[in-house]
Amino acid sequence: MKKILKTSFFVFSFLALFYSNAFAFIEFKQSKDISSDADGLRQINFKPDGTIMYVTNREKDTTSTTDSVIQYSLSTPFDINTATKTSSTPLTNIDKPHAIKFKPDGKVMYVIDNAELSVRQYNLTTAWDTSTLQYDDDFNVSDENQLRSLAFKTDGTKMYVTGNQTEVIQQFTLSTPWDVKTATKDSTQSSALTSKESNPRSIQFHSSGTIFYIGGNGSDSIHKYTLSTPWDVSTLAFSQSYSFSDQVSSSGNSIMAGFIFSANFTKLYITQDTDSRQSQTGTNTIFEYSVACAGTITCIDASSNADVKAIIEANVELSKRIIKHNTLPIFHRIEWLRRHKNKDNLSNLNAEIDFTNKKISKLVNALKRPKKEIDRSYKSNDWFQWSEGRVSLGKNKSITSSSRDFHSYGISIGADKIKKEDRDAMYGYVFQYGNDNIDIGSNGTKLNTDSYSLALYGTKLRDNHFFTDTLIGVSLLDIDQKRVIYGNTLKGNREGQQIFGSFNFGKRLVDKDLNLNPGIKLDLGYTKLKAFREKTILGDSLADALLYKEQNVKSALATIGILLDKTNNDNQEDEIINHHGRFEYISDLTQSSDAEFYYLNSQSTVYNYKVDNKSKHNFRIGYGFDITSISGWSLVGNFERFKANGKGYSNEIYLSLGYVPIDKMKFAFDVNNFDNTSLSLINNVSGFDLKMSSNYNFLSDVPEYGASIEFSGTF
């Protein structure tokens, strides 16, 4: 009983913990009191990898302490409760330090001097070790009061400061990157903060320069702004605010002193100073929060994100494109069979006459027909092997989502044979592999898909040259997805299954010079995409991660078109060349597909995105050729362009290689001299040569008859 109760309590506690945190965009994690180290905690910063933490410490109204920067070592990156103090370095030339920033290489440190309205610059002889700092120079912001906040553009060419007097963001250009001595004020600045924060304490830009954060003890909140032009504060537009009054309250002597996001924007840290100037007592606390969506204080509507919508649209397009790439090689094969039925090298038997006497051979060759076009028949016990490789490049565009560039390749390996009971019918099977890569937008989002398919097909030539083609197949999909948002990379793997089929009906109009094949075709497919969740590369963080529910994609394409082919009538001894082209109109009858998804950190809100069919009218044009050798080999090439009604296109190249098993037979008529003339028949049977010969002498008065049989092989 105790065990059951203990287990039940554990499960209940786990569920309570899970659900209590599952719906929050910003989750309070822990706090750390550093009052024993700091007298007046101001602002905070981290080494980019989270292994070192820095805070600025303001002295109280006494001579017993000194303004300083305190450095901590973190055994677990960005976990403040693993912080151990390693040094406290006096800032003797600063009165009231606030913001602290670093050059990306850790060799230069910058501190705001609140009283002197200056940006102080220090060199560090050992990177990231503030105990080695040496004063370098400073830059004075003369038209400000109560200067507190500092930020830099990622390349060090821009500097930004704020204070609580003018309540504006001032922007400066540094002619020498990361050297504040070279700063000159830009005419560009923003005063858009007045209504949101009356006492700004800290600012931070997202690494993209398109998001700006400001926070202070005027509202106990952090406010998010977007920039239409990156790093240009004159283009600021308010986005949202998030209050931290539950943990950080600016009541009495308590102030929200500063904040900073971690380098990957999945954690947030706020500093609070609670002190009494009179009693010289108080607390200095750092609060740690987990951020549900990197780069934002509240998650955006996922269904409005251009990359998310593009991913869903790409999955639908991918499902239909894989079906197309699985069916077209089969129809290419069937079309080739129709072009060469009873005319070219499709049989199991080739016969050649070879005269070993050069004079006779030359004479006979001159009398040969201008083109080898021997009527040959199929043998029902033969399997005809073929393969086809494919390369495809294309683009899909959308008004409401990110554009998609895709490239793919694939290979088909198949075999077919004549039906014993119906020599006008052929059936076969094919295995196919394809790889499809889709680049989405400009942030690095992409899909990579492997597909494996097996299909059965058949074709039958009916009366008056009518024909029917059918196929049915199944596919397995393996989709690797990567989505990048505000520098956070999320990955996931999705599996899928497909079933598809096609029916083609047409007529072959045979002419001496040009053959026409008008026809109609219906392609049907059903794709089931399994549910999957994204995983951030940022350890165990769930920031920005979405779970996509199971999605079904139904596809239906109706095609009407014409295929033309022409045989090259030039003299050819060893091969036959055909040219062919196509023009097709394709009506996409696919219904819309609904996708549902939600943030793993906010599962109460389920988003929906409906993918409507925006490309109902499409066209395909193509040109191809095939070369059929008398030795049994065939090469087929196709170039096709698929054009969607103003929404995208694809260019596709197909190369097919086929082989028909040939039993080589050679007749040798040896007349090297008239005194000794022989006739022999050589046939290859299963790799062995069977030779039958006679030494009949045409000029002898007394004919000599003799015959021999030889059976040989090479080992």
pLDDT digits (tens, 9 = 90+) for 428-456: 999 999 999 999 998 899 999 999 999 99
**pLDDT of the residue at 645:** 75
Going by their DSSP bridges, the two strands 349-354 and 663-673 should be labelled as: parallel
**pLDDT of the residue at 330:** 94
- Choice between 478 and 302, residue whose per-residue pLDDT is larger: 478
**pLDDT of the residue at 12:** 36
Lowest mean pLDDT among 65-79, 218-232, 348-362, 700-714: 348-362
Examine the pLDDT at 382 and tell me if it is beyond 90.
Answer: no
Going by pLDDT thresholds of 50, 70 and 90, the confidence category of residue 693 is low
Answer yes or no: are the C-beta atoms of 216 and 200 closer than 8 Å.
Answer: yes
Tokens of residue 223, six digits: 């406010």
* Highest mean pLDDT: which range of 58-62, 285-289, 697-701, 707-711: 285-289
Examine the pLDDT at 36 and tell me if it is beyond 60.
Answer: yes
What is the rounded average pLDDT of the residues 212-216? 89
First to last CA, the chain: 80
**pLDDT of the residue at 283:** 79
Nearest to 196 by CA among 222, 170, 171: 222
What is the rounded average pLDDT of the residues 595-618? 86
**pLDDT of the residue at 274:** 75
Burial of 702 (0-12, 13-18, 19+ CB in 10 A): exposed
What DSSP letter does each residue of 310-366 carry, written as one string?
HHHHHHHHHHHHHHHHHHHHHHHHHHHHHHHTTTSS-SSEEEEEE-SSHHHHHHHHH
**pLDDT of the residue at 698:** 45
* Highest mean pLDDT: which range of 58-72, 270-284, 522-536, 541-555: 522-536
Q: How far apart are CA 455 and CA 326, in angstroms?
A: 8
What is the rounded average pLDDT of the residues 367-386? 53
What is the rounded average pLDDT of the residues 673-687? 51
Going by pLDDT thresholds of 50, 70 and 90, the confidence category of residue 469 is very high
**pLDDT of the residue at 21:** 35
Going by pLDDT thresholds of 50, 70 and 90, the confidence category of residue 232 is very high
* Highest mean pLDDT: which range of 375-389, 672-686, 694-708: 375-389
Backbone angles phi, psi at 3, to 5 degrees: -65, -40
Examine the pLDDT at 661 and tell me if it is beyond 60.
Answer: no
Backbone angles phi, psi at 259, to 5 degrees: -155, 165
What is the rounded average pLDDT of the residues 306-323? 93
**pLDDT of the residue at 254:** 73
State how far the alpha carbon of 10 is from the alpha carbons of 6, 15, 340, in Å.
6, 9, 74
Nearest to 158 by CA among 143, 146, 169, 145: 169
Mean pLDDT of the chain: 80
Examine the pLDDT at 694 and tell me if it is beyond 90.
Answer: no
Q: Which residue has the tokens 């296109």?
A: 649
Examine the pLDDT at 170 and tell me if it is beyond 80.
Answer: yes
- pLDDT per residue as tens digits for the range 107-162: 999 999 888 889 999 999 999 999 999 999 999 987 777 888 999 999 999 999 98
Examine the pLDDT at 195 and tell me if it is beyond 90.
Answer: no
**pLDDT of the residue at 345:** 35
- pLDDT per residue as tens digits for the range 477-536: 999 999 988 778 889 999 999 999 999 999 988 877 788 899 999 999 999 999 999 987
